[in-house]
Chains A and B, each alone.
Chain A
Amino acid sequence: MTAIVFYFQVHQPFRLRRYSFFDIGNHHDYFDDAENARIVRRVAEKCYVPMTSLLRRLVGEFGDRFRFAFSISGTALDQLERWAPDALDGFKALAATGCVEFLAETSHHSLACLYDEEEFRSQVRAHARRVQQCFGALPTAFRNTELVCSNRIARLAEELGMRGILGEGADHLLGWRSPHHVYRPETCERIKLLLRSYRLADDIAFRFSNRAWNGWPLTADKFAHWLHTAAEGSDLVGLFMDFETFGEHQWADTGIFDFFSHLPAALLRDGSFHFATPGEVIASSDPVARMDIPHPVSWADAERDLTAWLGNAMQRSASEALYALAPAARRAATAGRPDLLEAWRRLTTSDHVYYMCTKWFSDGDVHKYFSPFASPHDAFITFMNVLDDVARGLAPFAQTGEEAAPARGHLSGPQAAPDFARA
């Protein structure tokens, strides 16, 4: 029997307010609470609350035959606690059914794995503890931010005790191989790799409401038929997607809730599929082969690489400046200023560099849709201003020779090097 593995991602970043150069040193009020509250409440109303209640109803109907997983970022948990406790209750009620697995990720939805392994480990451990507190079980399967995975990242997760890691079933990774089996990343000993079956997952997440798509309208029976064709006899089908697909990306009037409510019955009908969580597949299936992932692969855009976050000079320089502050931020926390570490960590949320992406000038409007800024350049300017202020707060905790002031101005030309940050 083939396992259908649904995993839903829940994430909200702490978006920055407009923070100008003239705010630096004057106030440390970086995050737009009003806007963040507004968005999380809207998403709770349109998606989290109705979809968790639909899932509860389905679990009630099918009992433990209907199973799935969530990964909820730490920043999303913070926001749900503060601004949408009813939605958080919905997730907790699902946890109580025993049919849901909660995955490990970085607490701040960061790309720390690429810059600072110590920070990566801290964030994963912090998040695991948080998940245990909230939902009662310590996670054993890991999904990295934006499903970014590589041999090295899998190895880091393995060292943290994770038994499985989720990744993108990218064509350039798989070649002729199927995403519907369990693999083991090269250089790893124990950890198992579950891949996203991106065509099938995106049929729901991206194409569901697209009337120009020849699959439209998508019904539960049609989707079940496609699953039979694509994956019968395989180990698993990884249907990994943003939870916001339901009601937020695909609005209720597209029929997405109705579609999903019919899906379990359609898939369970003839006995060739069963639902399972990532942990269950990891426990029951062995890797069919090794998978070599020398370069990080993500689930974003056509390229499935890191270019949405680190594709241009602004994104790279912002990230480098950010992670240069990691040691000082950690020392600040040890020295009694955990607030400084938390402010810095909120800046590690990958959304901030995503807003600086310039690919969408040619790459469609997906990025724009998610950005609170008028342009990627505005996103960069605001981020760097905030980072500058954070750096000032962290300066007392920097060691000699360490980069504490990130936004070093330097003009082209050999002599011109005004240093605004330290002026």
Chain B
Amino acid sequence: MKVLMLGWEFPPHISGGLGTACHGLTSGLAQQGVEVTFVLPRRHGDEAASHLRLVGCNEIALPDSAAAAPASAHASAALADPLRRRLLAQASRSLRLSSEPTLLSAYMSASEYRARWRESSARSGGSADLVWQELWTSLLALPDLAPSAGALARNLGCGDSMHLSGHYGPDLMLEVGRYAAAVAAMAQSEPFDLIHAHDWMTYPAGLVAAALTGRPLVAHVHASEFDRSGDTQDERIRELERVGLCAASRVICVSHYTAGIVARSYGVPAARLRVAHNAVAQRVDEGLPREKAIDEPIVLFLGRVTFQKGPDYFVEAAARVAQVHPRVKFVMVGNGDMWAQMVERAARLGLARNFHFTGFLRGAEVDRIYRMADVFVMPSVSEPFGISPLEAIARGVPVIVSRQSGVSEVLQNALKADFWDVQDLADKMLALLRHAALREELLEGGRGEIRGMRWEQTAARVRSIYDEVLSIAPPRRGEAAA
């Protein structure tokens, strides 16, 4: 089985859990005998990709119009499907509104967002709009699409290959369009059975590739705009998500929690929703020695300091714990748009001596902080999955997780609280600090659970979803005749 997989990041160049999950999933799929061609915005060359074929848009050879022509008849047939046409038209309409560059950034408040919006609109002069208009107009000029895809991609890139940063910068929407064009150019020369697209940035590319080749599209939701932004969602991203998810043959969510959001927010019918929980590749350290230069117990928050991760609830709960036990230390590791606000809030609550803000930590420093911590808290407001509690347990730190998370569905050996119930969070922090037996029990049980969360299992589940999709999809080009 050959899969064209579309993703935005791959280790070691990752900004969140998406790249890690793509790596774990593709490793598992390789063991299932699935051949994956994974398209990234940009390939750096040092990716851990021995188990698959990794292609960066920067190295996609853009076909000239004549070479791509033979695919045209097939593409026309695929696009004759009225449903497909309708969805593409919808996508085109919604995307034509996207003249502003995206300001998607994990670390931005609403006011910063507005300021940067003005600034970047002026700067880019609507180039993203141009990309999208060209892209979708070409797509809708149906029979001529295939030959034009290469030319289009060539136009959008600056020369014979595409130059994408692969970052989540102000040009993200532009890059999403270019990525789609590059994938469109590539899709026709690569034989594959289905397309698997990870998160909204790749959904347009997935749609285009599906429309061009007639192969089914599987969309994977690692996070939705609801999780990232709550009440301040970017309408264009929402629209891309909606169009992509509604057009996909199957939508894979990383948790039932996320599947619920997808069903509610985008009206994806339950019959097309599937859940494949993430796994963890983390090695489980037995009896990792605690390394602690201070006596005080440490409660750890580690994650982006943004709305989604609920750092404010952590601080409020900490205040309640500190009232009872002034010696407890609270360490907040990470950066984000709420960082300054958290420092100020902690100070105002009289917690200056209890709180330590380390900013963003990497590798060895992260290991060290885990070795020092006694309790790990993930108070996320909305967490599609949430791998960090599993990493904490693997490193010997018992965890409290919010019930508004996917990981709480698969992890029994964690204390669970509603993110908004700071009294309960505090109660559970205290319980973990007080009772060695509770910590032991959660760790011992949790380690066992983590050992059982293997990417092979997730991949087997995804493989079965592929089988399901292919059983209802038309045969691949050339196979029907055979």
Contact = CB atoms under 8 A, between A and B. Distances in A.
Question: Is the contact region of chain A dominated by helix, strand, or loop, or is it mixed?
Answer: loop
B431 A381 contact: yes
Nearest to A376: B441
B243 interface: no
Nearest to B427: A20
A407 B435 contact: yes
Nearest to A423: B325
Contact of A377 (B374, B430, B442): B442
A361 B413 CA distance: 9
Contacts of A418: 296-297, 325, 327-328, 433
A265 interface: no
Contacts of B423: 20, 22
B436 A410 contact: yes
B435 A380 contact: yes
Contacts of B415: 375, 377-378, 381
Contacts of A378: 415
Interface string A348-381: 0000000000100100000000000011011011
Interface in B335-391: 374
B434 interface: yes
Contacts of A314: 435, 437-438, 441
A20 B425 CA distance: 11
A47 to B, nearest CB: 31
B112 to A, nearest CB: 37
B38 to A, nearest CB: 36
Q: Which of B416, B434, B436, B438 has the most CB of A within 10 A?
A: B434
A384 B436 CA distance: 12
A375 B292 contact: no
B165 interface: no
A416 B297 contact: yes
A133 interface: no
Contacts of B435: 314, 317, 380-381, 384, 407, 409
A416 B436 CA distance: 12
Interface in B384-402: none
Q: How large is the interface on B (under 10, 10 to 19, 20 to 34, 35 or more residues)?
A: 20 to 34
B412 interface: yes
Interface string B279-306: 0000000000010100111000000000
Interface in B76-128: none
A312 B324 contact: no
Q: Which of A313, A316, A361, A407 has the most CB of B within 10 A?
A: A313
A416 B295 contact: yes
A21 interface: yes
A200 interface: no
B434 A384 contact: yes
Contacts of A385: 427, 431
Q: Which of A312, A317, A377, A415 has the most CB of B within 10 A?
A: A377
B220 interface: no
A407 B434 CA distance: 7
Contacts of A381: 415, 427-428, 431, 435, 438
Contacts of B442: 377
A288 interface: no
Contacts of A410: 436
Interface in B402-446: 412-413, 415-416, 423-424, 426-428, 430-431, 433-442, 444-445
Given A21-B430, A381-B428, A381-B431, A415 B295 contact: yes
Interface string A1-42: 000000000000000000011100000000000000000000
Contacts of B424: 20
A380 B445 CA distance: 15
A27 to B, nearest CB: 15
A375 B427 contact: no
A412 B324 contact: no
Contacts of A412: 290, 374, 436, 439
A384 B433 CA distance: 13
A373 B70 CA distance: 65
B374 to A, nearest CB: 5
A313 B398 CA distance: 15
B433 A420 contact: yes
A420 B374 contact: no
A18 B440 CA distance: 23
Contacts of A20: 423-424, 427
Contacts of A318: 437
Interface string A376-410: 01101100110000000000000000000001011
A246 to B, nearest CB: 33
A411 B374 contact: yes
A420 B430 contact: yes
Contacts of A358: 413, 441, 445
A416 B296 contact: yes
A420 B292 contact: no
Given A316-B437, A381-B438, A420-B325, A413 B290 contact: yes
A412 B433 CA distance: 10
Nearest to B430: A21
Contacts of A374: 416
A73 to B, nearest CB: 27
Nearest to A362: B448
Contacts of B441: 312-314, 358, 377, 380
Contacts of A423: 324-325
A30 B413 CA distance: 26
A21 B290 contact: no
Contact of A380 (B374, B427, B438): B438
Nearest to A407: B434
A258 to B, nearest CB: 40
Nearest to A320: B437
Q: Which of B426, B427, B428 has the most CB of A within 10 A?
A: B427
A415 B295 CA distance: 6
Given A313-B437, A384-B434, A411-B374, A21 B324 contact: yes
A201 interface: no
A24 B417 CA distance: 20
Contacts of A407: 434-435
Interface string A245-256: 000000000000
Q: Which of A316, A378, A415 has the most CB of B within 10 A?
A: A378
A138 B415 CA distance: 47
A149 B431 CA distance: 34
Contacts of B430: 21, 420
B477 interface: no
A421 interface: yes
B320 interface: yes
Nearest to A315: B437
Interface in B216-239: none
Contacts of A421: 434
A317 B441 CA distance: 11
B343 to A, nearest CB: 25
A10 B320 CA distance: 42
A317 B434 contact: no
Contacts of A409: 433-435
Contact of B320 (A22, A316, A411, A420): A22
Interface string B297-337: 10000000000000000000000100011011000000000
A21 B325 contact: no
Nearest to B320: A22
Given A418-B327, A423-B324, 17 more contacts: A20-B423, A21-B427, A21-B430, A22-B427, A312-B441, A314-B435, A317-B435, A318-B437, A375-B415, A377-B442, A381-B415, A381-B431, A384-B435, A407-B434, A409-B433, A418-B325, A418-B328
11 contacts: A20-B423, A20-B424, A22-B324, A22-B426, A317-B436, A317-B437, A377-B415, A416-B374, A420-B325, A420-B434, A423-B325
Top 7 closest pairs, chain A to chain B, by CB: A317-B437, A409-B434, A313-B437, A381-B431, A20-B427, A21-B430, A415-B295
